[in-house]
Amino acid sequence: MYRLISVVSSLLTLIVLAAGCAQNPITGRSQLMMVSDQEAAQQSGQAYTQLLSKADQSNALDTNPATIARVRQITGRLIQQAMAIRPETRSWAWDVHVLNTDEVNAWCMAGGKMAIYQGLIQKVRPTDDEIAQVMGHEISHALLSHQAEKMSRVKAQKLGLGLGVMAGAAMGMDLSGAAGIANSLATVGLQLPNSRENELEADKLGIELAAHAGYDPRAAVSLWEKMLDVGGNRPSEWLSTHPNPETRLQNLQVLAQQLMPVYQAARR
């Protein structure tokens, strides 16, 4: 097993070096980009269309005019700020829907396809400022190319494991049975820490988007306090894609105070 992990690690390193990294235009962080934003947006668009079709067939699309208008007004203001930060997103086919499910969730795919769930609206009972924090955070994932980055890491992981099995066979070792275990180790070692980093980046950019759009940055703190109240038990940080909640709240409190002048200027 140790030899497999060593082989996979070396091969993944070679793949990353061969594929090259791109510098994110917003954060400046180096990202593995074996999958482009355009590819991620295309796949997301297809998945979004299928999801909406199934939701429509099962009456899971919210048709309440007041709810739809509220969500679209808030996201519309956030989209304007998103396009100002990353002008090429003006060509995105931005869209948002409300889904009638009990899950406390919201998301924004690559290319600007968004959804917020009734479970979040009904259980958290967010103010407009708090919805802006939710959707600002999700929109930030798309602006920061996080979906394309994650798809790239998954691609690199699969390539590395496949090559590891082949390399093992060349050395007379049958590593096919251990590949699944190595895949789990690679997921914990590569995917989850990266996801936690992405969450922190989206927190920072999301609260900035909301403040520039005229939404109170202090709502980010009250929102996550509410989310913790309805969240119940959660997995340990090591096996989670989200940062420690206490750390997250502390970071948001600092950011909220820093962004108060931006919010106040936007309100004027």
The Cα-based distances of 234 to 47, 59, 136, 182 in angstroms read: 28, 30, 23, 25
* CA proximity to 221, closest of 200, 242, 252, 244: 252
Report the distance separating Cα 267 and Cα 81, nearest Å. 14
Question: For residue 238, what pLDDT is reported?
Answer: 44
Beta-strand relationship, 113-117 and 30-32: unpaired
Task: Between 33 and 192, name the one with better pLDDT.
Answer: 33
Helix 146-170 and helix 179-186, axial crossing angle in degrees, nearest 10: 150
Average pLDDT over residues 99-121: 95
pTM across the whole model = 0.80
Neighbours of 22 (CB within 10 A): 17
- pLDDT tens, position by position, 86-109: 999 999 999 999 999 999 999 999
Look over the chain and give the mean of its residue pLDDT values, rounded to a whole number: 83
Q: Give the DSSP letter of residue 238.
A: G
Lowest mean pLDDT among 29-33, 70-74, 207-211: 29-33
Question: For residue 62, what pLDDT is reported?
Answer: 94
